[in-house]
Structure 1
Amino acid sequence: MTEDAPTANWGFPTPVRFGAGRVNEIASALAEIGAQAPLIVTDTGLAGHDMVTSLAAALSGAGLAHALFCDVKPNPTDANVKAGVAAFREGRHDCVIAIGGGSALDAGKAVAFMAGQDAPIWTFEDIGDNWRKARRDAIAPVIAIPTTAGTGSEFGRASVITRLDTHRKVIVFHPDMLPRLVIMDPALTVGLPAGLTAATGMDALSHALEAFSAPGYHPMADGLAVQALAMISTALPAAYRDGTDMAARADMLAASGMACIALQKGLGGVHALSHPLGAVYDAHHGLLNAVLLPHVLRHNWPAIAGRMAGLAPRIGLGDEPQAVLDWVVALRRSLDIPDTLGAIGVTVEDPASIADMAVEDPSATGNPVPFDRAAALSILSAAR
């Protein structure tokens, strides 16, 4: 623990233990939620990492039975969830410890949710009151431990899962998918490579900026979005330059969580497009958002210029609304993120199909201007 990395206990929107080294409190965290036999869910890349092996050792040292499930793709699929549920049931586990980036957290929440359900996972797609079809008393609790500062999935009540038969990302929702407890340990993000620091950080930025741009009245979400953007503006470049900067890592972890809470106000065209692109091309979600964000902002500009005029001075950019767009572009460039989808290997060979999926994505409804097929195709053309 260093003096410039804060430590705190929060209860917003769920109990949070924040601070460097607090992952070592895993045994008491399990006792707090009344669990004794956790299934650790992570991805294959982290399965052998010190942070996961140390977590398992801490559980063993506390005499807690546990197992590891790591068959999770960067864009988690229904097959990953099904396999995780089988492991959960076979091991007679009573909770999930989800540790990793957004993919591991989404998969872990989905496994805990589906462990007690009999209907297919798509029964609970975030449409209308589908969530009411779930057996609420059969949802296993989750402890979420993020190792990236991007999705903020530790504060989400949903998981984004790729449906393999349709190549579509589906949002599965239930209020009780919100983790029972979160451990936010900025020390776990110190080893994140610069490229992933940039991509995940831009994911958090896109959450906050899309939420702030979304129409509707939600001053609490707007406040969180503005504070997240202000913190990201200084912390992301610092963390990118020096991955050991604990203060910057802590600020990014907090900002990504706030941005996720803010997105309950709505998202928009960035996510409406990045979801199908990620499902079809298996591309990194944060990197897709980073490339798409300026293009969507330009498309939406007639509707959001007034809001950007109010945002610019609140995040230290002066009085001109254009400064926000210029800042996003300059920040992206400083993080060595390219301007186009082609530059990250996403060729968009069938833009019409992507556009059709984008307009059906739930995020499209939050765009500040109507997001129809023509809008999707126009943005894709600019971003290719």
Structure 2
Amino acid sequence: MSFNMYVPTRILFGEGQLSHLHEQNLPGKKALLVISKGKSVRVHGYLERLENELRLAGIEHVVFDKIQSNPLKKDVMAGAAVAREAACDFVVALGGGSVIDSAKAIAIMATNDGDLWDYVGSGTGKKQPIKKQPLPVVAVSTTAGTGSEADAGCVVTNPETNEKLGIKTPQIFPVLCIEDVELMKSVPPAFTAYQGFDALSHSLEGYVSKFANLMSDMYAITAIEHVGRNLARAVKNGNDLEAREHVAFGNILSGTVMCVGTTSSQHSLEHALSAYHENLPHGAGLIMLCRAYFGNIIKHHVCDERFVRMAQAMGMENAEKPEDFLNVLQKLLEDCGVADLKMSDYGIRPEEFDKMADNAMGPMGGLFACDRVHLTKEDCIAIYEKSYK
């Protein structure tokens, strides 16, 4: 039950918190402002509001707007080049998990030589130490999903090698996180569900991981309660700020779960899906896998009481057996309108499952060590097959 806790990010949480950004002790004088290549933050006025906050704080900035829904190495390298050329001394991310992850990776490469993959510690990464301190990162989140705004990791895809891999180091904890639910009202229902299931999955996996501990359990079960009981409300009514606030709170807690505990191989299995199919949102992939993945653990009865407790946290107070968790999970999927997502709609084919299992267990195989139930390659393929539509 031992744990090592270091979560230094200052968090401003709640409705209207973006308006307090200019009052903070910001870590530089010129920011690289990282946003996605889409139009959302501009159309809804979030970029204008953030730029005004930076002006009030006396901060110059340069906008980098090339980030895609799954962060790509080439875009990270391009952003780092802009940061160097403009002599930016910190990075501000405005967006969801992809933007924040990209900003962290850009912060690394703005101060360190070579290629991002030189510093990746798995797969074809060269496992080199990050010698120079990355630029400080300020994260302004517009979604509730990855928890990246307050954790120590980032995940980037290298299409050349079909690897979707992470860098985890205390050097990239954001110095400041703004979690303002007003910025989340514009997220469409489907993506609210995808992002919410990502946040939920971090804690579901963390709670059944063999490295669960007193601290991760506290964060995880609270996150499961807040996301599990409120996500459907946020999906059905994006203007329900109370529901969005509960989901956002669970998201922040789930980010902390990854700092004091671990996730599990479900994330590796999904990363293999979206490494080959960049159009697949990470949360959608997790939704497709979750029933078969957790059903496999339940079948082995390695932590029945934990599944009962998670079912209770998600709203089934009278849960008595681990299978009740699968029932409440199915109900949440149905209530969020995502129970029938199809891999085939994203171009995924069953004949790819063999190479995807190799990918999950190879470059992304570290999380398999966190599982209470050992998965073989055949098990991984079986989970893919049961999840396929």
TM > 0.5: yes
The C-alpha deviation readout for 1:63-103, integer Å capped at 9, x for no partner, is: 42111101111111110100000110111111111111110
2:26 equivalent to 1:33:
yes
The C-alpha deviation readout for 1:89-143, integer Å capped at 9, x for no partner, is: 1111111111111100000111112211113222222459x8771124x311001
AA of the residue aligned to 2:319: D
Matched residue, 1:106 = 101
1:19 CA displacement: 1.9
1:60 CA displacement: 3.2
1:267 CA displacement: 1.8
1:372 to 373, 376, 381: 376
State the SS of the aligned residue for 1:66. Answer: strand
Give the distance between the partners of 2:387 and 2:315, measured in 1 at CA. Answer: 28
How many residues align? The count is 371
The answer to whether the 8 Å contact 1:47/1:70 transfers is no
> If the length of structure 2 is used for normalisation, what is the TM-score?
0.90
Give the distance between the partners of 2:142 and 2:156, measured in 1 at CA. Answer: 19
Matching of residues 189-338 of structure 1 within 5 Å: 189-264=184-259, 265-282=261-278, 283-301=280-298, 302=300, 303-317=302-316, 318-320=318-320, 321-338=322-339
The answer to whether the 8 Å contact 2:11/2:177 transfers is yes
1:368 CA displacement: 2.1
Give the distance between the partners of 1:157 and 1:144, measured in 2 at CA. Answer: 12
Give the distance between the partners of 2:93 and 2:214, measured in 1 at CA. Answer: 31
Unaligned segments of structure 1, at least 5 residues: 1-10
1:48 to 32, 42, 47: 42
Give the distance between the partners of 1:288 and 1:34, measured in 2 at CA. Answer: 36
The answer to whether the 8 Å contact 1:110/1:159 transfers is yes
2:67 equivalent to 1:65:
no
The C-alpha deviation readout for 1:294-314, integer Å capped at 9, x for no partner, is: 110011112232321333334
Give the distance between the partners of 1:342 and 1:150, measured in 2 at CA. Answer: 20
AA of the residue aligned to 1:319: A
AA of the residue aligned to 1:44: K
In structure 2, the CA distance between the partners of 1:216 and 1:64, relative to structure 1 (3 Å rule), is: closer
1:58 CA displacement: 3.0
Give the distance between the partners of 1:83 and 1:126, measured in 2 at CA. Answer: 21
2:19 to 13, 18, 24: 24
The answer to whether the 8 Å contact 2:90/2:135 transfers is yes
The answer to whether the 8 Å contact 1:269/1:296 transfers is no
The answer to whether the 8 Å contact 2:23/2:57 transfers is no
Between 174-183 and 343-352, the greater mean CA deviation after superposition: 343-352
Give the distance between the partners of 1:335 and 1:315, measured in 2 at CA. Answer: 14
Matching of residues 340-351 of structure 1 within 5 Å: 341-342=342-343, 344-348=345-349, 349-351=351-353
Q: Percent identity?
A: 28
AA of the residue aligned to 1:383: S
Matching of residues 154-165 of structure 1 within 5 Å: 154-165=149-160
2:71 equivalent to 1:76:
yes
The C-alpha deviation readout for 1:30-81, integer Å capped at 9, x for no partner, is: xx13311111101011452310122123323544211110111111111010
Unaligned segments of structure 2, at least 5 residues: 1-5
Give the distance between the partners of 1:92 and 1:344, measured in 2 at CA. Answer: 43
In structure 2, the CA distance between the partners of 1:169 and 1:249, relative to structure 1 (3 Å rule), is: same
Give the distance between the partners of 1:306 and 1:62, measured in 2 at CA. Answer: 51
State the SS of the aligned residue for 2:226. Answer: helix
The answer to whether the 8 Å contact 1:105/1:154 transfers is yes
1:340 CA displacement: 5.1
The C-alpha deviation readout for 1:131-181, integer Å capped at 9, x for no partner, is: 771124x31100111111111111221110001210110111221101011
Give the distance between the partners of 1:174 and 1:238, measured in 2 at CA. Answer: 35
The answer to whether the 8 Å contact 1:340/1:383 transfers is no
